[in-house]
Chain A
């Protein structure tokens, strides 16, 4: 079927998304918050023993060389991938349609593909106080040696599941369930007030 023109996807953050500087920003903003709005968010799962095969497929389809090992990940401007659970990976692309590219490659012998492009909301936090603000939410170690560049983590804040990828020395991309996204976003803005934040 020919790709028809689709309306813009609605952001779950809409009424609470206020670009500009907020909080204690008189001395500068120490974090920048933004919604990423990638076109594709996929979950790929390999059957036990097929993980390496899946990593290879991800490399072939996306050009991302995923390091092996728990939570290993990589990001290049437009695309990102990381492990978040045994044999499971999140693959993200700025553009829509990556699912179709994988459809033929992920055979039943390898594993499964689940499209979560609508179901997860991607929020980016960047800046010198990004680790500080993240530490208010998640009981995991955000220091660079413990959470290296590109790596992924699964954790939660109360009932809000989150997958987090470090995409810069002081930058994290947080994937939360869409239905929780606004609530989480409000909490994130609230927690960032102290250090001054800018919404882009």
Chain B
């Protein structure tokens, strides 16, 4: 599987670390809403199809990426820096 890092270009998946479901929303730091924290820490979407994920290019530039991946075909639909900015569409 190849993931296109917006900085480094397409790289083998071995250079990346999966950092989980990209749909999670971290509550405000001071929030005492335990349900919201619980959802953030433990709940994960597990769709059969397109999924928003976070990957770190840990074996490369170390940037975190927001990746849309199809969990059935493993096709990577898009990647962008988690910080925002450059987005790479790679739907073939």
Contact = CB atoms under 8 A, between A and B. Distances in A.
Direct contact of A and B (CB under 8 A): yes
Interface of B: 6-9, 11-12, 14-15, 59-63, 81, 83, 85
A85 interface: yes
Given A48-B83, A71-B7, A86 B61 contact: yes
A156 B63 CA distance: 14
B86 to A, nearest CB: 9
A153 to B, nearest CB: 7
B46 to A, nearest CB: 29
A85 B83 CA distance: 13
A161 B60 CA distance: 8
Looking at chain B's contact residues, is the secondary structure mostly helix, strand, loop, or mixed? loop
Nearest to A141: B9
Interface of A: 48, 70-71, 84-86, 88, 139-140, 153-156, 161
Nearest to B83: A48
A12 to B, nearest CB: 21
Nearest to A85: B61
A165 to B, nearest CB: 14
Given A48-B83, A86-B81, A139-B15, A156 B7 contact: no
B62 A85 contact: yes
A48 B84 CA distance: 11
B81 A155 contact: no
Nearest to A48: B83
Given A48-B83, A85-B63, A86-B81, A153 B8 contact: yes
B44 to A, nearest CB: 27
